[in-house]
């Protein structure tokens, strides 16, 4: 027997197909099936509203971000094409403050690397953190005494502060670098500063025997970080949905804890986690609104 389509079926079929198509385009909730990094990297303007950091450094977002001007009194923003020069106003203030400190130690200014995307959130490459507008990478190279061109900002590179064997600082390390890190770590709302273990060791050696080294506690050894240091601020006031990390362990962090970084164990590169990318639903609930196109 022939199975012929009745007129009613002829009508239902395209309707059903259209419904399936629409569902796959829009999802049950927009973006639910999309990696959060794909959504946040497309959003080029801050979400309006009271400035607030939501969630944690590696699982969060940012509302009411401020853009760092490309040049200012004592800083120049590098790699503008990456569009990662947004931050919480606290971070913009911190950069202004540290730029003045840099000038007072004799640098013409700072070169500012990645901060956050316009609405924070996960990025397509380069960082797991930097999601809440409270992290900034600062180059280990003084700004020149002129304004860099757009091409120079894309092409110039920083300096490698670590010797080839990874155990000590390179010949490019100076007292100004140490003074700048001390200034940064002494700012009350700085939570941590990540540097290469060889840099932490240089700071420990240079201050050994001294008592006033509370600031060293915030300087944390981490893999990489040869060409820049990474400053992380504490959650801003009035950001009740921002989650701080536990403070660093007490003490300067110069003894056995630092020695571990120079063992064979530490030198095995950390396996890249095969974890699934963060989805919008993995971020704090407020980030769904932050990610909406307004
Ligand atoms: Zn960083």
| Mean pLDDT in residue range 211-224 | 94
- How many A from CA of 161 to the centre of ligand 1? 16
E strands, 140-214, where?
190-195
Q: Read off the tokens for 78.
A: 């590098």
- Cα 111 to Cα 73, 118, 164, 175, distances in angstroms: 12, 19, 24, 18
Tens digit of each residue's pLDDT (9 = 90 or more) over 44-99 = 999 999 999 999 999 999 999 999 999 999 999 999 999 999 999 999 999 999 99
Tens digit of each residue's pLDDT (9 = 90 or more) over 99-112 = 999 999 999 999 99
Q: Which helix (H) or strand (E) holds 75?
A: strand 75-77
CA distance 88 to 207: 33
The pTM of the whole model exceeds 0.85: yes
Residue 243: is its pLDDT beyond 80? yes
- How many A from CA of 230 to the centre of ligand 1? 5
Q: Which helix (H) or strand (E) holds 60?
A: strand 59-63
- How many A from CA of 19 to the centre of ligand 1? 44
- How many A from CA of 115 to the centre of ligand 1? 8
3-state secondary structure of 114: coil
Residue by residue, what is the 3-state secondary structure of 225-286?
A: CCCEEEEEECCCCCCCCECCCCCCCCCCCCCHHHHHCCCHHHHCCCCCCCCCCCEHHHCCCH
For residue 294, the model assigns a pLDDT of 67
- How many A from CA of 207 to the centre of ligand 1? 25
- How many A from CA of 42 to the centre of ligand 1? 20
Tens digit of each residue's pLDDT (9 = 90 or more) over 185-208 = 999 999 999 999 999 999 999 998
CA distance 223 to 214: 23
- How many A from CA of 194 to the centre of ligand 1? 8
Residue 125: is its pLDDT beyond 50? yes
- Largest pairwise CA distance in the chain: 97
Confidence label for 39 from pLDDT (cuts 50, 70 and 90): very high
- How many A from CA of 293 to the centre of ligand 1? 27
The CATH number, out of the four listed (3.30.1380.10, 3.30.450.40, 3.50.50.60, 3.40.718.10), of the domain defined by the range 55-268: 3.30.1380.10
- How many A from CA of 195 to the centre of ligand 1? 10
User: What are the residue boundaries of the structural domains of the chain, listed by start?
Assistant: 55-268
Contact between 54 and 62 (Cβ < 8 Å): yes
- How many A from CA of 148 to the centre of ligand 1? 22
Contact between 291 and 39 (Cβ < 8 Å): yes
């Amino acid at each position: 027997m022939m199975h012929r389509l009745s007129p009613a079926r002829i009508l239902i079929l395209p309707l059903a197909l259209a419904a399936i198509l629409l569902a796959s385009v829009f999802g049950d909730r927009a973006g639910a099936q999309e990696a959060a990094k794909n959504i946040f990297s497309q959003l080029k303007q801050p979400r309006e509203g009271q400035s607030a950091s939501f969630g944690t450094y590696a699982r969060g977002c940012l509302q009411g971000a401020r853009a760092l001007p490309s040049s200012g009194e004592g800083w120049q923003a590098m790699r503008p094409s990456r569009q990662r020069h947004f931050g919480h106003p606290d971070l913009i203030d911190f950069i202004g403050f540290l730029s003045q400190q840099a000038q007072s130690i004799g640098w013409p200014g700072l070169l500012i690397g990645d901060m956050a995307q316009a609405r924070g959130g996960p990025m397509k490459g380069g960082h797991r953190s930097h999601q809440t507008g409270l992290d900034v990478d600062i180059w280990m190279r003084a700004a020149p005494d002129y304004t860099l061109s757009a091409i120079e900002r894309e092409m110039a590179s920083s300096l490698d502060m670590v010797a080839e064997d990874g155990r000590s600082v390179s010949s490019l390390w100076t007292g100004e670098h140490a003074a700048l890190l001390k200034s940064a770590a002494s700012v009350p709302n700085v939570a941590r500063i990540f540097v290469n273990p060889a840099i932490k060791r240089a700071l420990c050696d240079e201050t050994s025997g001294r008592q006033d080294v509370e600031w060293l506690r915030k300087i944390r050894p981490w893999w990489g970080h040869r060409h820049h240091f990474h400053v992380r601020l504490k959650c801003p006031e009035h950001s009740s949905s921002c989650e701080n990390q536990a403070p660093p362990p007490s003490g300067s962090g110069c003894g056995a804890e630092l020695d571990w970084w120079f063992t064979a164990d530490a030198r095995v590169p950390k396996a890249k986690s095969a974890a699934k990318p963060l989805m919008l639903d993995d971020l704090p609930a407020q980030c769904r609104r932050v990610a909406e196109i307004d």
